[in-house]
Amino acid sequence: MDLNVFRRRLLPTPKSTDQHFIVGVPRISVKKLGITNMKFMKILAVCFVVLPVLVTVSMIYRNPRTDRIGGFAEARVFEVRADKAVPGSGDDSSRSLGTPKNELLGGLIAAGFDDQSCLSRYQSALYRKTSPHKPSSYLLSKLRSYEDLHKRCGPHTKSYNRTLELLKSGQNAGPTDCNYIVWISFSGLGNRILTLASAFLYALLTNRVLLVDRGTDIADIFCEPFPEKSWLLPMDVPFTSQFSSFDQSSPHCYGNMLKNKIVSDSIKSVPSFLYLHLVHDYGDHDKLFFCDQDQTLLEKVPWLIMKSDNYFVPSLFLIPSFEQELSKLFPQREAVFHHLGRYLFHPSNQVWGLITRYYQAYLAKADERIGIQIRVFDTGTETFPHVMDQILACTLKEKILPEINMQESVVAPPKNVKSKAVLMTSLNSGYFENIKNLYWEHPTMTGEVIRVFQPSHEEHQQTEKKMHNWKAWAEIYPP
């Protein structure tokens, strides 16, 4: 996504004085086919939308009147114009499932994976047009050399076994040929996707191997992104059972050790592992992670164990020693997540089944597909009329949805009537019911047929539940 085409504007503040609306309307002129809708909390994550998104709307709403403090709502709207045949659209004769042209996503993904164990890896390209954001050749070569490193240093390799001994003994015996960044599975799925991408970029920048704590469900959600060697942290690694209790006051926490002057720049022998606390509640000492001189110290630590719920890629850009490498990897800064997301995150077969079945059943045949995501924080299942008003104001004003005809109850169907499929994702069903009823109770001014769907409404976030996360991932990643 190009920030030049990323417009923000404020909608008029509503009359009641104790409400504040912040509405960002990023416009993306990506002429691609596919559909997506995001549960991600950060605008930057929209870069993941490699897809045919014409309009994105992000809206944050805060309602201080409610007792439940922080009544935040967030909505994203994606308008997608299908201008090319997709599987299941009834016109896929020109494309055969076996030979997608762009299956390696412009060289981003390595060839030669077993495609049966991860159907989405090569099939997702069938649903999308080529990305307008070309990965730099430097990024591609960096990814290939990362894959070599991962092969050489991945779980149970000779180097891994040797470095694991250091972790077990707590001794640091000088430079090691493989160093690791361990990502702890923490927070909701959207946040985990963002932090994993951030941790991977950190691994690329520091020549570390990314190993992923499997939490309860990581292995069921994502395919393995690297060839041959797993990215999953082996179960027998010390401390894995303590990951959930790691926090800013843990004895191995880097920020805590700095605070207590247990480590400093001038320290001679650095520990064999450190815990990095990059969660939203982190303190000033934890944030020193983003300083050059701290990076110099951390370089010597073979095991870094990280917990975060922040998309910290932008902070990496602020570290002077990473600057040059980052600009070579990503000449187009805004596309970091776009590329890394497409490289790393491939839905598992179970999730790919949810995605493609839903797509074929409800979305494929429409002339146009629109995604709307509503997220209202900490408000249970309540549907707020003012949030509803905002959704309608935005979608009508931006001509994402057609105006309804209040004068007539029946309009003669014009010839070649167009259909739009609206995919609404939300934890509750109220907004979906409202929009669906609106277009059932009234005809549209344009005569267009509006079909509104909601795959699931799970009422509240259930971070640890398998099917919940499968569905969440399926809704984040419609083809």
- For binding to ligand NAG (CB under 6 A), which residues are involved? 156-158, 161
CB of 154 to ligand NAG, least distance (A): 11
Nearer to ligand NAG, 42 or 152 (CB): 152
Contact 413, 447 (CB under 8 A): yes
Closest-CA residue to 298 (of 255, 341, 351)? 255
Query: Are the C-beta atoms of 344 and 223 separated by less than 8 Å?
Result: no
- Taking the least distance from each CB to ligand NAG, the nearer of 106 and 234 is 234
| Positive or negative: CA dihedral 163, 165, 168, 169 | negative
Let me know if 432 is exposed, middle or buried by CB neighbors in 10 A (0-12, 13-18, 19+). Answer: buried
Q: Which amino acid is at 398?
A: E
State the nearest-atom distance from the C-beta of 159 to ligand NAG, in Å: 9
Q: Min. distance of Cβ 158 from ligand NAG in angstroms?
A: 4
For ligand NAG, the closer of residues 226 and 358 by Cβ is 226
Nearest CA-CA partner of 200 in 220, 179, 181: 181
| Structure-block tokens of residue 37 | 């809708």
Give the nearest distance from C-beta 168 to ligand NAG in angstroms.
Answer: 11
What is the DSSP secondary-structure string of 283-344? -HHHHGGGSHHHHHHHTT-SEEEEEE-S--HHHHTT-HHHHHHHHHH-SSGGGHHHHHHHHH
Neighbouring C-beta atoms of residue 292, cutoff 10 Å: 11
CA distance 466 to 453: 22
CB of 227 to ligand NAG, least distance (A): 18
Taking the least distance from each CB to ligand NAG, the nearer of 144 and 168 is 168
- Alpha-carbon torsion 300, 304, 308, 314, what sign? positive
Nearer CB in complex with ligand NAG: 20/158: 158
Q: Which is nearer to ligand NAG, 115 or 236 (CB)?
A: 236
- The residues near 145 (Cβ < 8 Å, ≥ 6 apart) are none
Q: How far is the CB of 160 from ligand NAG (least distance, A)?
A: 7
Cβ at position 157, least distance to ligand NAG in Å = 6
CB contact at 8 A, 333 and 299: no
Q: Which is nearer to ligand NAG, 156 or 460 (CB)?
A: 156
For ligand NAG, the closer CB: 111 or 235: 235
Shortest Cβ 231–ligand NAG spacing (Å)? 17
In 318-429, alpha helices (H): 320-329, 336-344, 349-358, 385-397
Strands 209-212 and 180-183: parallel
Contact 117, 223 (CB under 8 A): yes
Please, what is the minimum distance in Å from the beta carbon of residue 156 to ligand NAG?
5
Q: Which is closer to ligand NAG, CB of 159 or CB of 383? A: 159
Name which of 8 and 158 has its Cβ closer to ligand NAG: 158
**Distance in Å, CB of 212 to ligand NAG, minimum:** 19
The most distant pair of C-alpha atoms in the chain lies apart, rounded to whole Å, by 82
> How far apart, in whole angstroms, are the C-alpha atoms of residue 80 and residue 342?
19
Residue nearest ligand NAG, CB atom distance = 161
Alpha-carbon distance 316 to 331, whole Å? 15
Question: Residue 26 or 155: which CB sits closer to ligand NAG?
Answer: 155
- Say how far apart CA 377 and CA 375 lie, in whole Å: 6
Bridging pattern class, strands 55-62 and 20-24: antiparallel
Q: Which is nearer to ligand NAG, 7 or 158 (CB)?
A: 158
Nearest approach, Cβ of residue 153 and ligand NAG (Å) = 11
Written as six digits, the tokens of 245 are: 């209790």
The answer to whether 23 and 9 have CB atoms below 8 angstroms apart is: yes
Q: Shortest Cβ distance from residue 238 to ligand NAG (Å)?
A: 13
